Structure 1
Amino acid sequence: MTNPKTSNPYLILFALWLMMFSASSQLIIMVPILPEIAETLGVNAFWRGMLLTAYALSLGVSALITGPASDRIGRRLILLYGTALMAVTLVLHTVAENYVLLFSMRLLAGVGGGMLTSGSVAYVGDYFPYEQRGWANGWVMSGTAFGQVAGIPIGKVLATGFGYRWPFLMFALPMALSAVLIWRYVPQPDAELDEKRLTPSRLVEKYRNVLQGSDAVNAVASYLLMFSGFGLFTSFLPSWLESTVGVSGYEIALLFAIGG
């Protein structure tokens, strides 16, 4: 493990950027390949949509738990475990031969995604000085944006040409690379850890203290509205374009590649 005093901040940012790019891409690729999944596994629209719901709920629960856990065991371990879990789970998507197995893989991927979501921003806050946190978070979060733009066209092209399992394997590779980079080059920040035992009551207390301020409540509400709209838009637009307008998979990929 790299010493925090001798570590390269640009290499750390690249590792976190690649991690967020991979996590965002593996999520957004679900949107355009849902029709292929439904056709291959023989499920209706409801169960097809539950694959997205499973990931979202699992991610939310995981983030709520692993965020405070990282206060106790450190951000680096959370990021390392999260990237490793996500990489392995994405590979296992390729051998999920039925709906139950694929649903289980999406739940596990959500657990990993929650670890990365909570850990990445917290790591930047611990490692970088105050005057550089906005700059560093901007670079890291650009990986999320780039993944959302690139994920749909890449996923649609691969799924249309080779089957729905290939996009998951595609993004397992950069996720595995980010796990190696975190293990080798991303140190535990020199920050004080929470020594108190993390119990359910302690967890509730932490969130109650945070939500006492109006700024935190407003931020949560803003994020809820923003990502609810984004989720509804990206979940239904590709399917609607295919079924109603008659747009092909490659045309949908081109549309999202140009428009983002």
Structure 2
Amino acid sequence: MNKSHKIILFLLSTLNFTHILDFMIMMPLGVFLMPFFKISPLQFSLLVSAYTISAGISGFLAAFFVDNFDRKRILLSAYILFLVGTIACGMAPTFYLLLFARIFAGTFGGLIGAQVTSIIADTFSYEIRGRAMGVIMSGFAVASTLGVPFALFLANRFSWHAPFLFVGTLGFILVPFIAKFLPKMNSHIGTEKKSFLQKTAILSTVFKNKTQRNALFFSFLMMGGHFLMIPFINPFMINNVGYDTDFTPLIYLFGGVASFISANLLGKIADKKGKLKVYTWCLLAAIPLILTITNLPAGTKSYVTLAIFGVWFAASTGRGVTGTAMVSNVVDSSTRGSFQSFNSSMQQLGTGLAAFVAGLIVTKNSQTNALIGYDLVGYLSMFTLLCSLFLARKIFK
């Protein structure tokens, strides 16, 4: 990797940090938002899924025009509007205004992931793309390690509004650096811009191509299976297992450290040993951990819980790195932006549907606030991930 490659990776991983953190902090804030707005687990799951479903819809619609423009311009414009939505979340006085702000942020956040992935795929060859994706995915690890614990500290110290204002402010500090140092990304643009009808033809081609169609469904299952259990981790650990609010940030700290190590290490291993092989290892390692986490008994020793979550975060991140790298290779550069928008849309829809389904399954004991049905969410998560493995071995083997 040369110097320009490293600058691109640093900028995009930092941007990814703020983008992912905005999504991640909503889930552990459930213990603050449910009593503050007096809402049910289902209403809270709507706050989570509203972002991802709106992101999925916008990502799908964006696929019809993004390849006609410089990827940098699309990325920067979407990022600024996403930050506006994030700050609006921090200022929302009611449940419905917060819901609207999440939809607004998700609408533009849905354009970001596809552009980041497309820029990486255009810039780095497939032989080193696992390593590059690992660096980008480390934004997830840093968000878990530093961002989520700090966001929970702000929520405990001030209010639930503070984490959103923190993310929005940090993002606006980053904007001028992206504008200055990220190069133009327009080599994919042909001499003639594709019309809407031509883009529609591309969509038709994607869904007629069995490999590309299956790759999109694979992304849907991969993300949906993972995020089924995510929204209610914090409430379950506090209300069911019995930990206090000062302990739960440590889960994200330990998990984030493990994710950061695995994102970079497993990305390199995947480039050498095979991305499908590493994906398989990570998924099979995660299955018993999902079963354990969603059935964790009250009074479990804190060090045991931290160890379980550390390994689970590491396996989940390795799965995300390798899965994303494999999907990026099923299409060439000229239509990669459109395909990645479709792919990002499927990921967001999978995430949003997973959060909504989890909200339908999980209920709350009105007397103890303990969650009921979280174990069922775990079983559904395991089944969905195993389906993704079956499909991955058909597509990428």
The answer, yes or no, to whether TM exceeds 0.5 is yes
Greater RCO (CA < 8 Å, at least 6 residues apart): 1
Could you tell me which of 210, 233, 257 is aligned with 2:206?
A: 210
- Alpha-carbon deviation of 1:190? 4.5
Amino acid across the alignment from 2:16: M
Correspondent of 1:36 among 19, 29, 32: 32
1:145 to 1:202, Cα distance in 2 relative to 1, 3 A: farther
Of 239-248 and 52-61, deviating more is 239-248
Deviation per residue, 1:69-106 (Å, 9 max, x gap): 22012201111012111222222222111112111111
Q: State the distance in 2 between where 1:34 and 1:101 align.
A: 16
Matches within 5 A, 1:78-157: 78-128=74-124, 132-157=128-153
* Runs of 5+ consecutive residues of structure 1 not aligned to the other structure: 1-6
**What residue is the counterpart of 1:51 in the other structure?**
47
Instruction: Specify the SS of the correspondent of 2:246.
Output: helix
User: Would you identify which runs of 4 or more consecutive aligned residues in structure 1 move more than 6 Å?
Assistant: none
Percent same amino acid among aligned pairs? 26
Confirm whether residue 169 of structure 1 aligns to residue 165 of structure 2. Answer: yes
TM-score (norm 1): 0.87
Larger Rg: 2
Alignment of 1:243 onto 2:239: yes
Q: Which residue of 1 aligns with 2:9?
A: 13
* CA shift in 2, pair 1:47/1:215, >3 Å: same
CA positional deviation for 1:19: 0.8
Tell me how far apart the structure 2 counterparts of residues 12 and 173 of structure 1 sit (CA, whole Å).
22
Tell me how far apart the structure 1 counterparts of residues 59 and 195 of structure 2 sit (CA, whole Å).
Answer: 15
State how far apart, in whole Å, the 2-side matches of 1:236 and 1:218 are.
29
What TM-score do you get using the length of structure 2 for normalisation?
A: 0.59
Distance 1:107 1:247 in 2: 32
C-alpha separation in 1, matches of 2:37 and 2:233: 22
Q: What is the aligned-residue RMSD (CA, Å)?
A: 2.3
65-74 or 228-237: which moved more? 65-74
Q: Choose from 57, 61, 68 the match for 2:57.
A: 61
Q: Which of 192, 205, 226 is the aligned partner of 2:222?
A: 226
Cα distance change, pair 220–14 in 1 and its aligned pair in 2 (3 A): same
